[in-house]
Amino acid sequence: MSPLRQALAGYLAVRRSLGYGLARQEKLLGQFITYLEDAGATTVTTRLALAWAALPGGNQSWHALRLQAVRGFASWLQAIDPSAEVPPAGLLPWRPCRATPYLYSDGDIAALIAAAGTLRFPLRVAAYQTLIGLLAVTGMRIGEAIRLDHGDLDLAGGVLTVPQSKFGKSRLLPLHPTTAGALHGYLRLRDHLHPHPSTAAVFISLAGARLDYRNVHATWKVLAARAGLQARSPSCRPRIHDLRHSFAVASLLDAYAAGQDAQARLALLATYLGHVDPAATYWYLSAAPELLARARQRLEHHLREQP
């Protein structure tokens, strides 16, 4: 193993000990080191980092993301190799454009579940109908849902464990009896249709393997089209991740409707959703006009009561 690859292994180990996954960074930096080795370089230079990051393929944001990965590694490498150069920030300027959440109504979710009923094969129908329902009522990330194993479900106790989710944290989610019942019904049908799957996963494919992330997203596009869901703007398209946004917004709207302290609900919601930074949860306030309207009404009511 070359010194650069040894350094990369150390960098990844240190950052992962802090809770970062770094799957994409590991892949990108491995490719970068191959590029350095082919160029005969023994350390990171700004010239080579910029040349690699801007290789043909991808758009400006992708090039900036590649260079950002190099900057993190180069900053760490410089501590053990003073000759390593850290590319300056802003060499490939890019301002991220966050997608506008596609907030699903109850009718939209019902249409999606109905669309899943049009899929071929009963096992696929059951898997996707249950998966959509689970995401809608728990706000789980899609990756968390498809990583669920049998041992993560305590249906009798009404609790679901999300193991080692984003940032390496696990959390417990309470399940409504109807949700636990739906999961139990799915598992019973699944075991009847495929008694010997090759995985302990809750959601399985026709082959008996764990559902694949890319295949789920491809199927989601089909279901959204069959459900008649259309983009509301170039940046607001029906994504599966937006079931999570919809859950968060609905939770806050419920708090306002019940006259509860929305700030306190936000703190609970951040933990429930598995957010490390509460700012990730606060962003939902600006993502939905309904929430802004509720917040304005609450403020106006408060001001009217002031002497």
Task: Look at residue 194 and give its three-state secondary structure.
Answer: coil
141, 147, 190, 265: the active-site residue: 141
Task: Using alpha carbons, select from 32, 166, 143, 152 the residue that is nearest to residue 87.
Answer: 32
166, 194, 226, 239: the active-site residue: 166
Instruction: Specify whether 275 is catalytic.
Output: yes
104, 245, 284, 294: the active-site residue: 284
Cβ–Cβ under 8 Å, residues 185 and 38: no
Task: Using alpha carbons, select from 75, 62, 78 the residue that is nearest to residue 28.
Answer: 62
Task: Look at residue 172 and give its three-state secondary structure.
Answer: strand
User: CA geometry: angle at 46 spanning 45 and 50, to 5°?
Assistant: 120
Instruction: Specify whether 196 is catalytic.
Output: no
Instruction: Specify whether 166 is catalytic.
Output: yes
| 183-196 CB burial, b ≥16 within 10 A, e <16 | beebbebbeebeee
Instruction: Specify whether 226 is catalytic.
Output: no
20, 35, 241, 282: the active-site residue: 241
| CB within 8 Å of 302: residues ≥ 6 apart | none
Instruction: Specify whether 141 is catalytic.
Output: yes
63, 245, 275, 294: the active-site residue: 275
Instruction: Specify whether 102 is catalytic.
Output: no
63, 210, 244, 245: the active-site residue: 244
Please give the positions annotated as active site: 141, 166, 241, 244, 275, 284
